[in-house]
Amino acid sequence: MSRLDSMIRRLEAQKTCLESAIGLVATFPGPYLELGLGNGRTFDHLRQTAPDRDIFVFERKPAAHPDCTPDPEFLIEGDFTETLRPALELIKSKAVLAHCDIGTGIKVADEELAHQISRDLDALLAVGAVILSDQPFKKTNWGPLSLPRNVDSGRYFMYAKTA
C-alpha cells in the first residue's frame, strides 16, 4: 500500500470513528477533548458535527490555520504531560469524548506518551466517556469498543471509560 493510500485509509478511519463516538455520547452532558490540534481538521469536524459542545484542545505548539483554531479560552498550550493535570481546574465538568491524535510515527515514543498521559486524561473523563486514539492505551478501566465495520483493527482505537 502506498503512503498516500495509507493516509487516506487513516483519515477515513478517523472520521468514521469520530462520528461513531459522537453518536455514542450524544445524550451525555459534557465537553469534548482534542489532544493534538495539528492542522485543525478533526477539531473543525468536531465543531461542525457537534456545534453545541465545548471542545478543549491541547496542543504543544499550535500552528493550524486561524479558521481551524479554537478560541483562546479553549486552547491549552504545552506538552500533554504537563497540561492535562492542571486542566482539571479549567474544565469545569468531566468530558464525555476524548480524541487523541498523538502519534509521531515512532512506535516506542508513541506507546510511552500514551502510557504517560493516561492517568491525567482519565481524571478529565466522565464514566461512560468514549476515547478515540491513533495509539493504543492500556487502562484497566477503559474497555475496548468495537470499531465501525469499515475500520480495520489496529488502524484506530476506541474505548469507553467504565469506572
| Burial label, 151 (beta-carbon count in 10 A; 0-12, 13-18, 19+) | buried
Q: Minimal CA–CA distance to 97: which of 49, 13, 160, 39?
A: 160
**Tens of each residue's pLDDT in the chain, 163 residues:** 899 998 899 899 999 999 999 999 999 999 999 999 999 999 999 999 999 999 999 999 999 999 999 999 999 999 999 999 999 899 989 999 999 999 888 889 989 999 999 999 999 999 999 999 999 999 999 999 999 999 999 999 999 999 9
Predicted local confidence at residue 1, as pLDDT: 86
Helices (H), 38-127: 41-49, 80-83, 87-90, 107-123
Predicted local confidence at residue 105, as pLDDT: 83
Measured CA to CA, the distance from residue 150 to residue 90 in angstroms comes to 37
Phi/psi-derived region of residue 58, left when phi > 0, alpha when psi is between -120 and 50, beta in every other case: beta
- Listed in sequence order, the residues at least 6 apart from 8 whose beta carbon sits closer than 8 Å to its beta carbon are none
Enumerate domains of the chain plus CATH numbers: 3-161 (3.40.50.150)
Quote the pTM value: 0.94
Residue in the block written with cell 458535527: 49
Output the CA angle 4-12-115, nearest 5 degrees: 95
- What's the chain's Rg over C-alpha atoms? 15
Predicted local confidence at residue 113, as pLDDT: 92
Measured CA to CA, the distance from residue 118 to residue 28 in angstroms comes to 22
Residue in the block written with cell 502510557: 115
Measured CA to CA, the distance from residue 30 to residue 33 in angstroms comes to 10
